[in-house]
Amino acid sequence: MMEIISQTNRTILLDVINPEKLDLLTLVGEVKGIDSLSDDQMREINLHLECRSYEEAERKMAPVIWSFFDANSQSVKYTLKKPENISESMLTEIKLNEQENFLKTVFTVMSSRKSQGLLNVEFGFEKLLEMISPKKVMEDIKQVRKEIQYNYSKYAEMEDGDPGKLDLGDRLNVLFEDASTNYNNVMAMLPLAIEDVKTRLLLGGGELKSDNKELVPGILTMAENGELKVLEAPKEENTALATLDDNINAGLIEVIREDYNAVNDTPSDYVQNLVVRTFCPLSSTNQSKIDVETEVQNYNSYLEFYRTSKDNFIKVVKPLVEKLLGIKMFFDQYKAKSKGMPPSLLIANISPEMLAKSSNLPRLITYLNTTNSKNNFKDTIWYAIYPNVSWSQNVTNKINRERFKGNVQKAGTDVYSMESLSILLDVFKDYRVETFFSFENREETTFNALAAEGVEKAIEKCAPLIGKSYSEFAIPVLPNFTVIPKNKSGVILDTKMRVTDGNSAAFSDAKEDVMRLWIEGVYINGAYVAAGFHAACQCPEYLKDHFNRTKVRTDSELPGVRFDIEAGNNSLLAYTTMPKEITGFTTTIKNQINQKNFGWIFSSENASLNGENITNITVYKARNLLYNSEYSSYESVYKTQVTTYIERILRYVTGDFKEDNIKNFFSNNPQSQKSKWSMKKDCINAIITEGDNLEYSINEATSICELTISFNGSPRNLEVLINRVNANA
């Protein structure tokens, strides 16, 4: 069947990544009087929005944060949208890639916790979060500095025209290009300035002077009576080697000064000297007298400004970082030795609120007509991801007067409504698109909250979507994943300094002078992981890799539409790439989850299979919002996709439901489609398994063919309008 339907896992993400990039509505354009889009339009949409890896998503969306300085408030401002009333020259574009400090820190936390296999309560988040501090930023710069000095010293000693010197010149050009990205940006220079002042005011390694006296280099000696003494070292002339080093340094200093002036439109002597000291520390013979009081004031000013600006930056960038993490984890779920059916993600790059407006729905419908109503299934959309559904729509505990500083609740820009979700679901149902949705990132939607409170609150919030014609296409995902817990998200940047009575610098002992910022937690919406995992399970190669140690066969020509993650030990053989977060659910909570059989529920349980410990998050329940009153349970997700898959295969094989072809499709002929599927019942990715049945009946009066698909005795019905023009006509 893979030659007919080559993919069953193409997913659309309903969210904005970069508002400056093209989006689905713009690319679809005006659709009045149009039933479907042209092939050229589809090619353009895929060119701009379709991604097959996180790296491709990062390249196509090019996520950025814009920053600019406000002279009135003497502060730096950050925004997700490019300000239209500020000139280009006043704007700084901060690219969110894996080189950006905050995103790099979050990725490092994720990979470290995964490799160590520690629960949230055991993991040392604070230690890794120090990567944001000026000290850690300076460590990266020092590595670049070491390479610059090493390569320049060799370059300076070589004769002009030497091919080796030209090779070193190429290397130095690359290193200087990297360095210039820092010293061409005052904000990037702040952590360097902070560490520079510390280096010059305090002893190497950040140790404080032990008293208020000026430091004098000395030599440890032993007196005649055995007493230890440190005597002042005699003054020595510079050695030839030191002079040579100074000469090389002098050349490098001149190159750095020239480069700084060349790339900076508004050069500053102070920043120029800072750049020089950062990338080419002066030898002791070149040190100048330090104005301690001025330097301490500068240091404290830099540190306060850095803390404030970094805090503002994180508040703005965090929601976008969480989206990028979600996209990364969507693709990360697919781990297969052979890439049979890798998931693809179409990033709509527009908010679902905008997409759900009545004036915009015709464009979405026309797009889905093109992808999902044709017998060409390459572009068919099977799943949608709707993240960040508002959790706190009905706030009952209104506070009239705030006596104590409390949490500032998320304002609505990056949280989407249940109303918009219902509007889109009503459209998606007609195209049989299953929508994974999850609630906004906050402590109330984490594993800790689910383990403490169960699923009752989530069921209550999903009530408007239950009992509707689109309920079976709505898949609520619980819980969200915690990357950095709120209570472990503090970062100590550094401590302010003071001038001592002896006119030397020392760190302040005052508690309020410890410069700390709070990230307030980083999370990943569960919908990304659920959709990514379900998409991965569609690939026969993925299932083959995960079930290769069992006796169950995998058919390479069938997708995993019938794969039931809840059956048997399936969840212990195919599981997510996410590390466990908590010790698990209590028996009471598990009983509640099993009784309700509600939603797509992830589990962080201690489990093992065949002596192997499962250290990853597994899938505990995989249900949509279609409630089966006979079984007092919500329906399994796989039933909807099997029904969709059979309907699409039937449409293709029968030439759009021709009556004679339908009869052949369900006949007992060994070559009929039903017979072919029945022969593969023992496969893990069988379309019809043992206990399943596939039947049909044709109402001659209405020309309606009713399909009945029984899953272990539980029937699902699907009606199609048959084509009376038979094959012999």
pLDDT digits (tens, 9 = 90+) for 541-585: 999 999 988 888 999 999 999 999 999 999 999 999 999 999 889
| Alpha helices, DSSP H, located in 16-162 | 24-28, 39-49, 54-61, 101-116, 125-129, 134-157
Q: How far apart are CA 495 and CA 135, in angstroms?
A: 12
| Confidence (pLDDT) at 709 | 92
Is the Cβ–Cβ distance between 628 and 713 less than 8 Å? no
Above 50 in pLDDT, residue 210? no
Residue in the block written with tokens 């909250």 = 449
**3-state SS string for 528-585:** HHHHHHHHHCCCHHHHHHHCCCCCCECCCCCCCCCCCCCCCCHHHHCCCCCECCCCCC
Range with the largest mean pLDDT of 192-206, 291-305, 498-512, 588-602: 588-602
HSE (side-chain half, CA atoms, 13 Å) at 373: 13
Evaluate whether residue 313 is within a structural domain. no
Q: What does DSSP assign to residue 36? A: S
How far is residue 81 from each of residues 15, 86, 479, 690, 729, measured CA to CA in Å?
Answer: 14, 12, 30, 54, 60
* Percentage of residues of the chain with pLDDT beyond 70: 87
Evaluate whether residue 261 is within a structural domain. yes
Q: How far apart are CA 106 and CA 484, in angstroms?
A: 8
Q: Are residues 329 and 296 in the same domain?
A: no
Residue in the block written with tokens 């354009």 = 29
Above 60 in pLDDT, residue 604? yes
Q: How far apart are CA 433 and CA 386, in angstroms?
A: 12
Evaluate whether residue 465 is within a structural domain. yes
Average confidence (pLDDT) over 452-457: 94
Q: Are residues 691 and 561 in the same domain?
A: no
Q: Are residues 294 and 162 in the same domain?
A: yes
| Confidence (pLDDT) at 207 | 42
Q: Are residues 276 and 146 in the same domain?
A: yes
| Confidence (pLDDT) at 249 | 75
Residue among 546, 177, 528 at smallest CA distance from 336: 546
Report the relative pairing of strands 505-507 and 514-518 from DSSP bridges: unpaired
Contacts of 247 (CB under 8 A, 6+ apart): none
Residue among 645, 54, 646 at smallest CA distance from 380: 645
Q: Which residue has the higher pLDDT, 10 or 119?
A: 10
Last-in-domain residue among 616, 637, 658: 637
Give tens-digit pLDDT for 100-138.
878 888 888 888 888 877 777 777 776 677 777 777 777
Kindly report whether the peptide bond that precedes residue 362 is cis, defined as omega within 30 degrees of 0: no
Q: Which residue has the higher pLDDT, 681 or 277?
A: 681
Q: Kindly indicate the confidence band of residue 239, based on its pLDDT and cuts at 50, 70 and 90.
A: very low
Number of other CB atoms surrounding residue 647 within 10 Å: 17
Q: Are residues 594 and 549 in the same domain?
A: yes
Q: Kindly indicate the confidence band of residue 204, based on its pLDDT and cuts at 50, 70 and 90.
A: very low
Q: Kindly indicate the confidence band of residue 191, based on its pLDDT and cuts at 50, 70 and 90.
A: confident
Q: Is 119 exposed, middle or buried (0-12, 13-18, 19+ CB in 10 A)?
A: middle
| Confidence (pLDDT) at 131 | 73
Is the Cβ–Cβ distance between 675 and 669 less than 8 Å? yes
Evaluate whether residue 236 is within a structural domain. no
Residue in the block written with tokens 């293709």 = 652
Evaluate whether residue 489 is within a structural domain. no
State the DSSP H helix or E strand holding residue 163, giving kind and residue range, or none if neither. Answer: helix 163-183
Evaluate whether residue 366 is within a structural domain. yes
Looking at every residue in the chain, the average pLDDT score rounds to: 85
Q: Are residues 301 and 329 in the same domain?
A: no
Q: Kindly indicate the confidence band of residue 230, based on its pLDDT and cuts at 50, 70 and 90.
A: low
| Confidence (pLDDT) at 227 | 67
Q: Kindly indicate the confidence band of residue 289, based on its pLDDT and cuts at 50, 70 and 90.
A: low
Range with the largest mean pLDDT of 26-35, 104-113, 291-300: 26-35
Q: Are residues 349 and 426 in the same domain?
A: yes
| Confidence (pLDDT) at 515 | 86
* CA angle (346 as vertex; 344, 351 as ends), nearest 5: 145
Is the Cβ–Cβ distance between 2 and 557 less than 8 Å? yes
Lowest-confidence segment of 216-225, 361-370, 650-659 by average pLDDT: 216-225
| Confidence (pLDDT) at 728 | 46
Give tens-digit pLDDT for 39-68.
999 999 999 999 999 999 999 999 999 988
Is the Cβ–Cβ distance between 262 and 254 less than 8 Å? no
Q: Which residue has the higher pLDDT, 215 or 633?
A: 633
Number of other CB atoms surrounding residue 295 within 10 Å: 18
Q: Are residues 51 and 112 in the same domain?
A: no
Last-in-domain residue among 305, 336, 359: 305
Above 50 in pLDDT, residue 397? no
- 3 state SS of 416: strand
What's the domain count of the chain?
Answer: 3
Q: Which residue has the higher pLDDT, 246 or 535?
A: 535
Average confidence (pLDDT) over 498-517: 87
State the DSSP H helix or E strand holding residue 506, giving kind and residue range, or none if neither. Answer: strand 505-507
Evaluate whether residue 425 is within a structural domain. yes
Evaluate whether residue 689 is within a structural domain. yes
Radius of gyration for the chain, computed over Cα atoms and rounded to the nearest angstrom: 32
What predicted TM-score, i.e. pTM, was given to this entire model?
0.86
Q: Kindly indicate the confidence band of residue 196, based on its pLDDT and cuts at 50, 70 and 90.
A: confident
Above 70 in pLDDT, residue 16? yes
Q: How far apart are CA 482 and CA 12, in angstroms?
A: 24
Q: Are residues 435 and 557 in the same domain?
A: yes
Q: How far apart are CA 321 and CA 386, in angstroms?
A: 17
Contacts of 208 (CB under 8 A, 6+ apart): 202, 506, 507
Domain extent for 32: 10-61+325-393+412-482+523-637
Last-in-domain residue among 615, 637, 659: 637
| Confidence (pLDDT) at 288 | 53
Q: Are residues 378 and 263 in the same domain?
A: no
| Confidence (pLDDT) at 380 | 97
Give tens-digit pLDDT for 303-316.
888 888 888 988 99
Rounded (10°) CA dihedral 585, 589, 594, 595: 180
Q: Kindly indicate the confidence band of residue 428, based on its pLDDT and cuts at 50, 70 and 90.
A: very high
Phi, psi dihedral angles at 698 (to 5 degrees): -110, 125
Q: Are residues 582 and 680 in the same domain?
A: no
**3-state SS string for 430-482:** HHCCEEEEEECCCHHHCHHHHHHHCCHHHHHHCHHHCCCCCHHHEEEEECCEE
* Percentage of residues of the chain with pLDDT beyond 90: 47
Q: Which residue has the higher pLDDT, 189 or 327?
A: 327
Contacts of 70 (CB under 8 A, 6+ apart): 76, 77
Residue in the block written with tokens 């969306």 = 61
| Confidence (pLDDT) at 208 | 46
Average confidence (pLDDT) over 271-300: 72
Q: Are residues 467 and 569 in the same domain?
A: yes
